[in-house]
Amino acid sequence: MPSSGEEAPLPRLGLAGGFDGERWIEGRGLGICTVLHRLDSPLGDVTVGVIRRTTISASRDGPKVAIPDDRARESVATALVADLPGVGDDVFNVVTEVSGDADAWTEKEILVDGEAVSGYEREYRGSWVAYYLTPTLIVYVLGHAGWKPAVLELETIGASM
């Protein structure tokens, strides 16, 4: 249990609902946890990421403040476009364009540990991303657009992974 002023550890989330393949922690640190899923499919890997949505507080003892929804979407758009071929030095312009195109983001219900949450999804240049927000977290799933499941199910993964 975190002491006063400390943030709770990030949840470790992964694909559920019949996931078949290997998974392992790709990144874990202050403010981020990513779990890579190697599918038994030619469509490549799927990443489930959890990013802390809070920023530093305005004062030493003040509460941390969550970034607004549009800034959270920029984080998700960055995950979507950062590794695409040909983006290069234009990555920030592309992120702004992708995150700002509100009509391209459609609503998507996501199941997390059996509970429905409201999220969004979009495709871009053969990749697909879905995400949802909590008051303190950004949770996203990134993969090939051909893999996109009709029902996206996530589950909390135990420490023994």
pTM beyond 0.95:
no
* Cβ atoms of residues 10 and 50 within 8 Å: yes
- State residue 78 phi and psi, 5-degree precision: -60, -45
Cα distances from 155 to residues 13, 78, 83, 122, 152, in angstroms, run: 5, 24, 26, 21, 10
pLDDT tens track for 63-108: 888 899 999 999 999 999 988 888 878 889 999 999 999 999 999 9
pLDDT classification of 5: cutoffs 50, 70, 90: low
Strand partners of residue 32: 29, 51
Q: Pick from 156, 53, 149: which is nearest to 110 by CA?
A: 149
Q: Please report, for the chain, the start and end positions of each structural domain, with discontinuous segments joined by +.
A: 13-156
CA–CA gap between residue 78 and residue 73 (Å, rounded) = 9
